[in-house]
Amino acid sequence: MSSQVQWSSVDQRVDQDDVFSQRIREQWTDQLGRRLDILIAGCGRDGVLDVGRHEPRVCGVDEDLPPLRAHAVDRKDLDEVHLGDLRLVPLQPRTFDVVYVSFLLERVRNAELVLDRLVAALRPGGLLLLKMRDRRSAYGFCARLCDRAASRWLRRMLWRGLSPAESVGPLPAVYEPLASREGLQAFCLTRGLMIAEDYSAVSGPARQGPHPGLVGAVCRAVAALSRGRLNGTEDEIAMVIRRPQNHFARLI
């Protein structure tokens, strides 16, 4: 028994939001116009999808942390919101046509268990659209170091000084092994999922804030000190992952 996982070049750099929106439109067309059920996991941060005129039912889940709660309850694009322990929030199997995981896996513990629950909530033939910060990027390394070594007030001060004013945070930086390209590839291989598209990008909040040159220089220096183990440029991974229609599609 073996599985096949297909992915495209990580060097492709496109607007992932446009790609995700196009894949959702294709999913709607493939279902002959039936209403889509969409789950946004990580709804306490930015995670808005352009669904056009299709008017899907959109639910959101996230951890129950003060900055996330404040953002999630203010959103007008969600029909339903559940906040709490993501190992326990109510998710019925085979309920959603699209699951969008938006910068969630790098900041939660038991990330593999959480992702297993999200995949189980996906209908056969459904789409898993995923964005996350890369554990093997210099940016991710710096975020982990700050989370572990800096006091809460120092982290808050750095966040306010380096990130855009509207950014939600600071949030935990856990970065379990799943929060990497290799971790996701192994996860998909063992679950019979197919990575259809795989992209890299630069999107860390501190790299979009008032001092992007300084943050970029720090990331490049950290990458150089790591002797190539860390990526000093891109910090985001985005993937389009498909759940096969047939449970036995993983068999060759």
Residue 143 domain-assigned?
no
Number of domains comprising the chain:
1
Tokens representing residue 157 in the block: 């001060």
Residue 166 domain-assigned?
no
pTM over 0.95: no
Range of the domain at 71: 16-134+176-202+235-246
For 148-204, write each residue's pLDDT tens digit: 998 889 999 999 999 998 888 899 999 999 999 999 999 999 999 999 999 999 999
CATH at 30: 3.40.50.150
Which strands form 194-201's sheet, in the order they lie side by side? 80-83, 57-62, 37-41, 96-102, 122-133, 236-242, 194-201
